[in-house]
Amino acid sequence: MPLEGERLLLREERPDDIPFEAGLRNDLETQAWPKALPPDYTEAMYRKRFEGREFSMDRREARFIIELKETHEQVGYISYYDLEPRFSVTYGLAVLKKFWGTGLAAEAQAVLLKFLFVELGMRVVRLWTTSGNPAMIRLAEKDGFKLSGRVRQSAFRSGQLYDGITMDILREEYFARHPEWADNLPFL
């Protein structure tokens, strides 16, 4: 069952999404974290990752395709990984350039955060980006993320060095911003 926002759905990836995912991941304009140029995320690599997943009720990672509700047009993808149950998780987001500035990335982030905090009971949600991606930093700050780390000159993009940035939001910070949802999982 997909996660639902006002204008979009976050649905689990399917095999027919692989060309879209590889294309988006290889687009240097949409990627803020390339370590190797040119990018070489092939469809075969995505297919191997997809087919290599084992079924488990204990999912430590997931990738969702962001699509418009009305047209089912693909907007981008959002994922979480490195999930430590009821403790921490890291998330990532990539959106096609034609959807930048539309509010869809913010809506996708909000839908995923609600799922991670309310449904999965996470204690902290993290993200990684670079100082060369001010749009992602602003997007994260709008939902209450705070700077938690900086690795100087750790990413090279478009001929420039950028700092690696990690940001996070804690459970109590999230629920303070969303009093409409009760935090039914108190911690020590």
pLDDT tens for the 188 residues of the chain, in order:
899 999 999 999 999 999 999 888 887 776 655 555 556 678 888 888 888 776 656 678 899 999 999 999 999 999 999 999 989 999 999 999 999 999 999 999 999 999 999 999 999 999 999 998 999 999 999 999 999 999 999 887 777 889 999 999 999 999 999 999 888 876 64
Residue 153 is assigned to a structural domain of this protein: no
CB contact burial 88-98 (16+ within 10 A = b; e otherwise): ebbbbbbbbee
Count the domains in the chain: 1
Residue 158 is assigned to a structural domain of this protein: no
pTM beyond cutoff 0.75:
yes
Q: Which domain holds residue 15?
A: 3-127
Q: What is the CATH number of the domain that holds 33?
A: 3.40.630.30
Structure token digits, residue 139: 């997007």
Residue 43 is assigned to a structural domain of this protein: yes
Residue 24 is assigned to a structural domain of this protein: yes
